[in-house]
């Protein structure tokens, strides 16, 4: 009787140890009339490192020359502590294809935990199909929203004002940053 009891306990423990606590991300893959694939909803960076997105991602990642002076200021002043980032993007969008890989190169170079970055794909109407973009005033992509303690600090919207590094430095230092559309009359 004791042997069956021990075997049962060991079996339960083994099964419970194998259970994973996984969070799923729902990504819709939309193919348009020109046979181009768009990703909508939660996106994992691994999704962009596969075909058909890998070519634009790798090209723009590799070609970007970092502003190491600005990055040293961000890193040395510990400005990324408690910072999370949500990026609304369009895999169909030229500006996203240009800026997103550069953004990841910046964070890879300073050792930022990119698991703190949430990627959300939107369609051309800036909808994520699951309500993630609602109430956040996403009018242009990419939109990089910086949060500290779950409160929005500021955002980079579609274009940089100076450069990704300098714009981020101003945002992280709360130095009066205004994104491109707030600077436009």
Q: Is 174 left (phi over 0), alpha (psi -120 to 50) or beta?
A: left
Domain assignment present for residue 10? The answer is no
From CA 5, how far away is CA 26, in angstroms rounded?
Answer: 41
From CA 125, how far away is CA 71, in angstroms rounded?
Answer: 34
Contact predicate 52/36, CB 8 Å = yes
**CA trace torsion 127, 61, 81, 146 (10° rounding):** -30
Domain assignment present for residue 83? The answer is yes
CATH code assigned at 131: 3.40.30.10
Domain assignment present for residue 165? The answer is yes
Beta strands per DSSP E along 17-62: 27-31, 37-43
Domain assignment present for residue 8? The answer is no
Domain total of the chain: 1
Range with top average pLDDT, 23-27, 96-100, 130-134 = 96-100
Q: Answer whether residue 160 shows pLDDT above 70.
A: yes
**Domain range spanning residue 142?**
23-183
Domain assignment present for residue 3? The answer is no
Q: What is the mean pLDDT of the chain?
A: 84
From CA 59, how far away is CA 101, in angstroms rounded?
Answer: 8
pLDDT at 60: 97
From CA 105, how far away is CA 118, in angstroms rounded?
Answer: 16
Angle at 64 between CA 60 and CA 67, to 5 degrees: 150
Tally Cβ neighbours within 10 Å of residue 151: 7
Task: Give the mean pLDDT of 154-180.
Answer: 95
pLDDT, tens digit (0-9, with 9 covering 90-100), for 60-109: 999 999 999 999 999 988 899 999 999 999 999 999 999 999 999 999 99
pLDDT at 121: 95
Domain assignment present for residue 77? The answer is yes
Report residue 16: phi and psi, to 5°. Answer: -70, -30
Domain assignment present for residue 52? The answer is yes
Domain assignment present for residue 65? The answer is yes
């Amino acid at each position: 009787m004791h042997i069956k009891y021990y075997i049962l306990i060991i079996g339960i423990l083994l099964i419970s140890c194998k259970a994973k606590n996984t969070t799923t991300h729902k990504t819709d893959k939309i193919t348009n009339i020109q046979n181009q694939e768009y990703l909508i909803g939660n996106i994992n960076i691994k999704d962009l490192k596969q075909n058909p997105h890998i070519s634009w991602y790798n090209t723009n990642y590799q070609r970007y020359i970092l502003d190491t002076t600005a990055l040293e200021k961000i890193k040395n002043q510990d400005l990324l502590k408690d910072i999370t980032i949500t990026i609304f993007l369009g895999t169909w969008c030229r500006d996203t294809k240009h800026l997103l890989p550069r953004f990841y190169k910046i964070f890879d170079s300073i050792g930022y935990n990119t698991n703190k970055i949430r990627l959300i794909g939107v369609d051309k109407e800036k909808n994520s199909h699951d309500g993630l973009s609602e109430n956040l005033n996403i009018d242009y992509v990419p939109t990089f929203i910086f949060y500290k303690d779950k409160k929005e600090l500021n955002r980079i919207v579609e274009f940089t004002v100076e450069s990704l590094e300098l714009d981020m430095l101003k945002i992280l230092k709360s130095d009066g940053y205004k994104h491109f559309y707030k600077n436009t009359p």
